[in-house]
Chain A
Amino acid sequence: MAAAAELLRVSRLSKHYDVPGGDPVPVLHEVDLSVAAGEFLAIMGPSGSGKSTFMNLLGCLDAPTAGEYWLQGRNVAGLAPDELAALRNRLIGFVFQGFNLLRRVSAIDNVALPLLYAGIPRAARRARAQVLLDQVGLGSRAAALPNQLSGGQQQRVAIARALACEPALILADEPTGNLDTHTSQEIMGLFTRLNLERGITIALVTHEADVARYARRLVRFVDGRVVHDGEVTP
């Protein structure tokens, strides 16, 4: 396989949290990492190792204290909030442990939400959202509210939402943390298919080795530093 184009690269990326009346608490220390388009990456590490902070930085939800973050050849560290919002909308899809669907909003409207902010007209939004729901196997539950769906179904809706604007990168933060083993396998199967069939880059935070095994590259964090970057150990 020819060397794929680089999707993102971070260099000397650091993040400190300010504590009132104390020294800043360092969470990430000068992390260097490069991810090519089409990779399937698992990020592991104990609690407090900085893996979630790293994901938030990759997702442009948070700004680094120091360092550079190149996304599709563009340095995004230091962009204005609205520019970051546009990047999140076009390039990145999020899948969270707690699903983070809007309560009291139907599945189809949840999926269509990113399209709303992309400026797509209503009819086109709903049509596209229906296609996405079909793809995750929930085409018949379009009108259901999140609390009428099982955990696995809610996570599928969240994945459909993450796919809405055809992102280059999906960031999943413990996507199976609230699911049973069987459902976890289904969800991970879905991620694998998206990665293989559509070439979407997936970065996944997990602390379960079973889940990490679906990925092809493993990055392990300890105390805010990368201590392992390589093959997924069987």
Chain B
Amino acid sequence: MKLRALPGEAWRAMGLNRLRTGLTMLGMVIGVGAVVLMLAVGDGARHTVNEQIQAMGSNLFIILSGASTSAGVRMGAGSRPTITVGDAEALEKLPTLDGVAPVQFQTAQLAHAGSNWSTTVRGVTPDYFRLREWAIDSGQGISDAEVRSAARVAVLGRVVAKELFGTDDPVGKSVRIGNQPFTVVGVAEEKGQSLSGSDQDDIVFVPLTTAQGKLFGVSFPGTVTSITVRAKSSELMEDAEADIRQTLRQRHRLKPGQPDDFTVRNLASTAETAATTARVLTVMLGTIASISLIVGGIGIMNIMLVSVTERTREIGIRMAVGARRRDILLQFLLEAVLICTIGGLAGVALGVAGAWAVYEFAGMTTFVFSAATGIFFGYYPAHQAARLQPVEALRYE
């Protein structure tokens, strides 16, 4: 028999028992639909995590005062700040680093007109916005001149702008931070949630010198809360971390064997953990969905076996007029594949409709999967059909 005659024969056989064909297909529709939907959900989760990583900025380190927990005895954080502006200036000379931004932050009360809001006030230099890849939506950022003159200017985060000014444009308006008047010069772009779940837009930026001198006052002159630094590239992350440690140990006059009095936190590894979690989630969802695909496949095997028994006489007639075993095998196999493929297409459509984000990749793979499911689960029944003896099949009532 010519191969191209097969689809017609299979299609006709499927049409002979529409209800059964439809129900069998439904198993595939649900199985494939679940796979597409789950992959899409997993993809969505990964997408969200990627966005958060993007928002954080890439290749970043945060240097904090205080020893790491592994050092045994540990000073309370901030009780003896060890990181200084001088450290930051020294780090700027390192060739592996792309930028250095010392940061001083503390919580303060903000007020404008009738409303007030408590938030984190972060004293920064212009480099901070560059390293975090944090753009200014309206107005402008903090300039070097403002840092030098310790100007009373502020850049508001989205959340703070909304809480204090509602829908009004805050640029040029005045706001009180800890009872001192500041002029709003800009509003930062929206960053969304951080990987740890805090709202990054609930923040106010002021020049570093303003925060240190005028706003909070510093008990240990020259110290900062943290320093944000960026390595030149992701390949240089390890070298950069070693350079940072060496420089800071030297500057802090630590003897060999003495524990660090600072902590270097690699944000890339945090991001990697989050990405891994998202990947595991995708795999898990995919596995669950695959199980429903397998169940659908077993349903097809079951129905095809019933169909072979029911059509024994037909098989006998076909064999009597010259059908070879291969012809019978292919006919039943193709029926299973057709059911799976059509069911699979419907499943992809269903999954796409159900998922809020789906990529072509997920759809195509699943399509191939459903055809493979048809071959895998359709083979045994088709084989049973092909094995029949013509004389017995013809006698079958």
Contacts and interface: CB of A to CB of B under 8 A. Distances in A.
A81 B391 contact: no
Give the interface size bracket for A toward B. Answer: 20 to 34
A117 B12 contact: no
B72 interface: no
B324 A81 contact: yes
Interface of B is mostly: helix
A119 B320 contact: no
A89 B2 CA distance: 14
A72 to B, nearest CB: 16
* Contact size range, B: 20 to 34
A168 interface: no
Contacts of A165: 322
B249 interface: no
Interface string A184-199: 0000000000000000
B394 A88 contact: no
A119 B6 CA distance: 11
**Which of A82, A102, A103, A117: most chain B CB closer than 10 A?**
A117
A152 interface: no
A100 interface: yes
Residue of B313, B320, B324, B389 with most partner-chain A CB within 10 A: B320
Interface in A112-136: 113-114, 116-119, 121-122
Residue among B2, B314, B326, B327 with most chain A CB within 10 A: B2
B320 A100 contact: yes
Interface of A: 56, 59, 61-62, 81-82, 85-86, 88-90, 94, 96, 100-105, 113-114, 116-119, 121-122, 161, 164-165
Given A100-B316, A105-B12, A117-B321, 13 more contacts: A61-B320, A61-B391, A81-B325, A82-B326, A100-B317, A100-B320, A101-B317, A102-B314, A102-B317, A103-B314, A116-B2, A116-B5, A119-B1
Interface of B: 1-2, 5, 8-9, 12, 16, 313-314, 316-327, 389-391, 394
